């Protein structure tokens, strides 16, 4: 006998398909941890940190373009930005302009709440997305089988004023490596069906897992904690009507991140990832594919900053990617996998208004392996500086637990006010 | 958790038992799995609603061109007129065959010009093709008597992932699986690799359709050149593996060998439109040196290079590792990997022989059930096991909601294969919500205790048996059974 499984009426088909695909299809995901809800840390502050991972290899030379480098325009050809004209960027300093798609970021830069790190790279020197992301997220010195991410290990090392609650929260069906680890991670997904779970079943299932499967028991307990947390309404469950369609996933996740991180008793640390930076073809310059993506990122950052409200003053956002792209435009008006790239640090606690770079130059002999922007800054030094000065991690914890074998990458101590 | 041969046969090497399956195969579970191997016809999937990719891609590209033309209020391009500006392909008749990929086409988008009938809008064409393909695949998965064959199709489709999210891939992602994967699951790895590398879905997904030899006729005229995306992933993901012993120079060499590998646009003659097409005027003059061997220029040079990659020892190790990790455990038992690797080399990548070795391996029948079912497999097995009909569209929707939209992994690497990859807390929570919906539809009088014994046989764990038996209602018993570790892992 066949019985139809009918849940219609909960959500129109097309809406569900579109929105859910964007949210869980991997275009974007969000993870957050809470610790010390409603309490200040040892320094009397209540700092927030959001880490944004851009997957696919962001072209740093198009995000912050070194138009003052004599080799830049020729290398980049049709995708080059310039100081003036049709592909004019937004002025940063004598060397760099910012992609014109990032108006919000530029305004923050002028307010000295945003800085750009350039010619930076993780220790990874290959050109595989997947190994590159593993090194970036694991915090290890090289490729290897990693079970935990640096942000998760950092969470365990944060000095706390009192009893800490290290429950976390995330969005997405697959937990990204940067947040995996022994500090528990919750995750959040919109409900598949608009109906409450029945307490009696929940209790019995928890007992069954407890008796037979510890990993499922833990995941289920976290899922149920999350269910209780969101009883008052699903953050980010409703798509905003405004906003271009490709940007919707970015906006939804950043809205959710802000709602959780700004709440008085909410989580304080989150990680977010956005897909779609692998611009092998038709990358564009002031307009085009990459500019569209950057506009989405800019909108996500402004949505997040606005949503944080007064807590923005206690916030740091760091935006990183696994590697940069070739210095030369390729045969299809795009760029292939490269090495060093740019990263962003923004927020109310950032000493912004500057580009932090030891610029290697783009001359033929200056390029890494004759093709990529050469790395002159270890991204781990930037991350260690933020974790030290924003969250109070000790140098020892950073060197031994969070970023093992990173002794050469000394924390940059002038990023946080 | 304990395991048992009939449960392994139906779960590790299947899509979950249907009522009665475990009892039927109890006498010879290994033979039941092995008997599914080898019949190439059984892997095929065809019906009247499913169009070949060359038809669909030509329709979709044609519809996009009409939209662009209507927006500019100029006549639609035909074979005799150049493409509109912005298509960036009007350098030669050859280059016209490579359609420009719009950045973010979404299904059902209102991308039609007012003059077009809704059914002809590119978004509608794409969505209709996607739904027809997904429904056919789901119906096959739920009803099949040879579920191991479907699992193999899913494995290879994921190994050679071409994600729907990129450009027009969504329109032909299902057809790609039927055309490039299914015919070869019991054939040779080298043949599957070649079919994949020549398919429009892969050529679009990894950007090879626009890759032009810098010193080719088209390249010198327009100063365009290489795109190394496909070449890199062919080496890193499809054949040798990331540690397989290649360099950046090899990536570039393979990219040069594959220049001109594209497909015909709507303006090409019927036999070429939408099909693989070697555009000689974009091909980089050779010879090309890849992994220490020299290859002549031309389509055969690329074919020979792919054949050599398929036969490379690193490919044998890479494929053996992935196969064992997917079906048995991650990380996989080294003895099993070694045996599969040897078989791959001995048989020159005979996938029927490899599959038979996999299901004959003692490790595969001894390893505990630790792999959490991916969302799609969970939904299909739910439908198979409970004798309730879950409409294919619902499986599509729930797959999306649980984080695994069909044919749309987040990257060329495909879906993750870690044992616990699909254990995110909220996703588990949503599995329970779906189980509640499903259990509410089971006919009154059904007995979850009997269902548990029927679906799991001797593999039913005492803890689950007890939880189901003590449930306060049959419905709750089914909910606990569906979410039990016994049915969530394999």
| pLDDT per position as a tens digit, B327-382 | 999 999 999 999 999 999 999 999 999 999 999 999 999 999 999 999 999 999 99
Instruction: Name, in order, each residue with C-beta under 8 angstroms of B112's C-beta and a sequence gap of 6 or more.
Output: B67, B118, B120, B121, B122, B123, B124
Asked if this assembly's ipTM is beyond 0.90, the reply is: no
Q: Is the Cα torsion angle B181, B183, B189, B195 positive or negative in sign?
A: negative
Using pLDDT thresholds of 50, 70 and 90, give the confidence band for residue A406. very high
Task: Region of A59 please: left (phi>0), alpha (psi -120 to 50) or beta.
Answer: beta
3-state secondary structure A355-376: EECCCCCCCCCCCECCCECCCC
Q: Which two tokens stand for residue B279?
A: 């555009």
Instruction: Name, in order, each residue with C-beta under 8 angstroms of A277's C-beta and a sequence gap of 6 or more.
Output: A54, A55, A56, A57, A58, A59, A290, A293, A321
For the cut 50, the answer to whether the pLDDT of residue A413 exceeds it is: yes
Task: Region of B207 please: left (phi>0), alpha (psi -120 to 50) or beta.
Answer: left
Residue A31 Cα, gap to closest chain B Cα (Å): 11
By C-alpha distance, the chain B residue nearest A244 is B104
Q: Answer whether B32's CB lies under 8 Å from B82's CB.
A: no
Per DSSP, what are the bridge partners of residue B289? B294
Please state whether the peptide bond connecting residue B316 to the residue before it is cis, i.e. omega within 30 degrees of 0: no
Q: Which of A175, A201, A369 comes nearest B479 by C-beta?
A: A201
Question: Does A211 lie at the interface with B, CB-CB under 8 angstroms?
Answer: yes
Q: Which two tokens stand for residue B177?
A: 């699986």
* Distance from C-alpha of B151 to C-alpha of B42, rounded to nearest angstrom: 13
Q: Which two tokens stand for residue A11?
A: 């959500």
By C-alpha distance, the chain A residue nearest B109 is A245
Which has the closest alpha carbon to B171: B276, B274, B46? B274
Q: Which helix (H) or strand (E) holds B276?
A: strand B276-278
Residues of A with Cβ-Cβ distance to B484 under 8 angstroms: 208
Residues of A with Cβ-Cβ distance to B480 under 8 angstroms: 201, 204-205, 208
The burial class, CB within 10 Å (0-12 / 13-18 / 19+), for B283 is buried
Q: How many percent of chain A have pLDDT more than 90?
A: 60
User: Are B425 and A27 an interchain contact pair (Cβ–Cβ within 8 Å)?
Assistant: no
Question: Which tens digit of pLDDT belongs to each residue from B403-421?
Answer: 899 999 988 999 999 898 8
Which has the closest alpha carbon to A61: A84, A15, A95, A110? A95
Which has the closest alpha carbon to B324: B334, B314, B332, B335? B332
Q: Which of B214, B219, B424 comes nearest A187 by C-beta?
A: B424
Question: Does B405 lie at the interface with A, CB-CB under 8 angstroms?
Answer: yes
User: Are B411 and A26 an interchain contact pair (Cβ–Cβ within 8 Å)?
Assistant: yes
User: Are A25 and B242 an interchain contact pair (Cβ–Cβ within 8 Å)?
Assistant: no
- Which pLDDT value is given to residue A21? 32
Residues of B with Cβ-Cβ distance to A211 under 8 angstroms: 463
Q: Answer whether B305's CB lies under 8 Å from B290's CB.
A: yes
Q: Is the Cα torsion angle B363, B366, B371, B373 positive or negative in sign?
A: positive
- Which pLDDT value is given to residue B426? 82
Residues of A with Cβ-Cβ distance to B408 under 8 angstroms: 21, 25-26
DSSP 8-state secondary structure symbol assigned to residue B1? -
Q: Which two tokens stand for residue A157?
A: 């090392």
Q: Answer whether B219's CB lies under 8 Å from A331's CB.
A: yes
Q: Is A89 helix (H, G, I), strand (E, B) or coil?
A: coil
Q: Answer whether A330's CB lies under 8 Å from A280's CB.
A: yes
More confident residue, B137 or A142: B137
Residue A84 Cα, gap to closest chain B Cα (Å): 23
Question: Which tens digit of pLDDT belongs to each residue from A101-111?
Answer: 999 999 999 99
Q: Which of B227, B427, B470 comes nearest A173 by C-beta?
A: B427
DSSP 8-state secondary structure symbol assigned to residue B287? -
* Distance from C-alpha of A299 to C-alpha of A128, rounded to nearest angstrom: 29
Q: Answer whether A308's CB lies under 8 Å from A360's CB.
A: no
For the cut 60, the answer to whether the pLDDT of residue A65 exceeds it is: yes
Residue-range domain boundaries for chain B:
41-129+146-172+184-310, 375-488
Using pLDDT thresholds of 50, 70 and 90, give the confidence band for residue A224. confident
What does pLDDT average to over chain A?
A: 82
For the cut 50, the answer to whether the pLDDT of residue B224 exceeds it is: yes
Residue-range domain boundaries for chain A:
15-192+214-402
- Which pLDDT value is given to residue A190? 61
Q: Which two tokens stand for residue A207?
A: 């007992």
* Distance from C-alpha of B301 to C-alpha of B298, rounded to nearest angstrom: 5
Q: Answer whether B128's CB lies under 8 Å from B49's CB.
A: no
Per DSSP, what are the bridge partners of residue A344? A116, A319
CB pairs under 8 A between A and B: 260
More confident residue, A159 or A121: A121
* Distance from C-alpha of B428 to C-alpha of A397, rounded to nearest angstrom: 33
At how many degrees (to 10) do helices B169-176 and B122-143 cross?
30
By C-alpha distance, the chain B residue nearest A3 is B388
Residues of B with Cβ-Cβ distance to A333 under 8 angstroms: 88, 224
Question: Which tens digit of pLDDT belongs to each residue from B362-375?
Answer: 999 999 999 999 99
By C-alpha distance, the chain A residue nearest B220 is A331
Q: Is A319 helix (H, G, I), strand (E, B) or coil?
A: strand
Question: Does A71 lie at the interface with B, CB-CB under 8 angstroms?
Answer: no
* Distance from C-alpha of A329 to C-alpha of A327, rounded to nearest angstrom: 7
- Which pLDDT value is given to residue A159? 78
User: Are A336 and B464 an interchain contact pair (Cβ–Cβ within 8 Å)?
Assistant: no
Instruction: Name, in order, each residue with C-beta under 8 angstroms of B192's C-beta and a sequence gap of 6 or more.
Output: B156, B160, B180, B181, B184, B185, B351
Question: Does B433 lie at the interface with A, CB-CB under 8 angstroms?
Answer: yes
Helix locations, A13-111, DSSP H: 13-24, 60-63, 72-76, 103-110
* Distance from C-alpha of B14 to C-alpha of B359, rounded to nearest angstrom: 11
What is the CB neighbour count within 10 angstroms for residue A184? Answer: 17
Using pLDDT thresholds of 50, 70 and 90, give the confidence band for residue A45. confident
User: Are B433 and A191 an interchain contact pair (Cβ–Cβ within 8 Å)?
Assistant: yes
- Preferred mutation among A128, A194, A330 to probe B, highest tally of B CBs within 10 A: A330
């Amino acid at each position: 006998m066949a019985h139809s499984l009918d849940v219609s009426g909960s959500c129109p088909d097309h809406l569900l398909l579109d929105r859910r695909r964007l949210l869980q299809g991997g275009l974007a995901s969000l993870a957050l941890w809470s610790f010390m809800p409603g309490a200040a840390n040892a320094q009397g502050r209540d700092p927030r940190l959001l880490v944004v991972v851009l997957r696919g290899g962001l072209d740093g030379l198009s995000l912050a373009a070194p138009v003052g480098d004599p080799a830049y325009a020729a290398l980049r050809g049709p995708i080059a930005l310039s100081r003036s004209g049709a592909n004019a960027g937004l002025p940063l300093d004598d060397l760099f302009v910012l992609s014109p798609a990032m108006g919000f970021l530029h305004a923050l830069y002028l307010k000295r709440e945003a800085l750009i790190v350039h010619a930076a790279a993780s220790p990874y020197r290959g050109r595989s997305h997947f190994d590159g992301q593993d090194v970036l997220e694991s915090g290890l010195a090289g490729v290897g089988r990693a079970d935990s991410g640096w942000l998760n290990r950092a969470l365990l090392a944060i000095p706390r004023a009192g009893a800490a609650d290290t429950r976390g929260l995330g969005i997405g069906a697959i937990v990204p490596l940067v947040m995996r680890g022994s500090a528990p991670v919750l995750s959040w997904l919109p409900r598949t069906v608009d109906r409450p779970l029945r307490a009696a079943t929940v209790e019995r299932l928890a007992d069954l897992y407890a008796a037979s499967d510890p990993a499922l028991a833990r995941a289920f307990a976290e899922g149920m904690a999350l269910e209780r947390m969101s009883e008052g309404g699903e953050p980010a469950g409703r798509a905003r009507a405004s906003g271009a369609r490709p940007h919707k996933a970015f906006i939804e996740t950043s809205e959710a991140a802000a709602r959780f991180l700004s709440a008085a008793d909410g989580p304080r640390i989150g990680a977010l990832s956005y897909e779609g930076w692998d611009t092998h073809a038709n990358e564009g310059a002031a307009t085009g594919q990459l500019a569209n993506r950057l506009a989405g990122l800019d909108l996500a950052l402004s949505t997040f900053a606005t949503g944080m409200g007064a807590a923005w003053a206690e916030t740091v956002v760091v935006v990183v990617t696994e590697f940069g792209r070739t210095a030369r435009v390729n045969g299809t008006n795009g760029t292939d996998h490269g090495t060093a790239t740019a990263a962003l640090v923004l927020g109310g606690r950032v000493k912004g208004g500057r580009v932090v770079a030891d610029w290697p130059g783009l001359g033929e002999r200056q390029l890494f392996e004759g093709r990529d922007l050469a790395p002159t800054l270890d991204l781990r030094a930037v991350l260690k500086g933020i974790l030290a000065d924003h969250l109070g991690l000790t140098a020892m914890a950073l060197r031994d637990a969070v970023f093992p074998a990173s002794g050469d990458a000394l924390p940059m101590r002038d990023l946080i006010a | 958790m304990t395991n048992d041969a009939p449960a392994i046969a139906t779960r590790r090497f299947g899509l979950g038992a249907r009522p009665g399956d475990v009892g039927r195969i109890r006498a010879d579970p290994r033979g039941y799995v092995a008997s599914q191997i080898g019949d190439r016809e059984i892997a095929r999937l065809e019906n009247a609603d499913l169009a070949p990719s060359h038809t669909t891609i030509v329709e979709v590209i044609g519809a996009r061109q009409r939209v662009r033309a209507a927006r500019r209020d100029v006549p639609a391009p035909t074979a005799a007129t150049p493409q509109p500006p912005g298509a960036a392909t009007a350098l030669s008749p050859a280059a016209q065959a490579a359609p420009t990929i719009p950045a973010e086409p979404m299904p059902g988008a209102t991308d039609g010009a007012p003059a077009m009938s809704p059914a002809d809008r590119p978004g509608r064409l794409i969505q209709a093709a996607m739904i027809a393909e997904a429904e056919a695949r789901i119906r096959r998965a739920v009803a099949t008597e040879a579920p191991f064959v479907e699992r193999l199709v899913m494995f290879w489709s994921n190994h050679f992932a071409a994600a729907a999210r990129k450009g027009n891939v969504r329109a032909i992602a299902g057809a790609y699986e039927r055309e490039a994967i299914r015919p070869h699951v019991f054939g040779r790895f080298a043949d599957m690799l070649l079919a994949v590398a020549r398919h429009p879905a892969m050529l679009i997904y990894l950007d090879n359709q626009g890759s032009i030899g810098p010193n080719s006729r088209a390249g010198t005229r327009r100063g365009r050149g290489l795109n190394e995306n496909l070449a890199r992933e062919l080496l890193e993901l499809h054949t040798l593996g990331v540690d397989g012993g290649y360099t950046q120079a090899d990536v570039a060499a393979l990219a040069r060998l594959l220049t001109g590998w594209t497909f015909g646009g709507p303006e090409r003659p019927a036999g070429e439109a939408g099909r693989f097409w070697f555009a000689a005027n974009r091909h980089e003059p050779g010879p090309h040196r890849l992994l220490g061997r020299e290859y002549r220029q031309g389509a055969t040079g690329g074919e020979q290079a792919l054949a050599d990659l398929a036969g490379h020892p690193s490919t044998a190790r890479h494929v053996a590792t992935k196969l064992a990790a997917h079906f048995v455990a991650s990380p996989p038992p080294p003895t099993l990997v070694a045996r599969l690797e040897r078989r791959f080399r001995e048989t020159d990548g005979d996938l029927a022989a490899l599959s038979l070795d996999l299901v004959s391996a003692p490790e595969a029948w001894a390893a505990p059930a630790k792999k959490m079912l991916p969302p799609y497999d969970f939904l299909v097995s739910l439908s198979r096991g409970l004798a309730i009909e879950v409409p294919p569209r619902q499986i599509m929707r729930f797959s999306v909601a649980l984080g695994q939209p069909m044919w749309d992994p987040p990257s060329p690497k495909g879906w993750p294969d870690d044992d616990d990859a699909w254990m995110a807390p909220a996703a588990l929570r949503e599995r329970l919500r779906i189980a509640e919906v499903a259990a509410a539809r089971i006919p009154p009088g059904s007995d979850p205790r009997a269902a548990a014994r029927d679906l799991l046989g001797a593999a039913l764990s005492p803890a689950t048996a007890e939880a189901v038996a003590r449930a306060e209602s049959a419905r709750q018993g089914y909910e606990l059974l569906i979410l039990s570790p016994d049915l969530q892992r394999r």
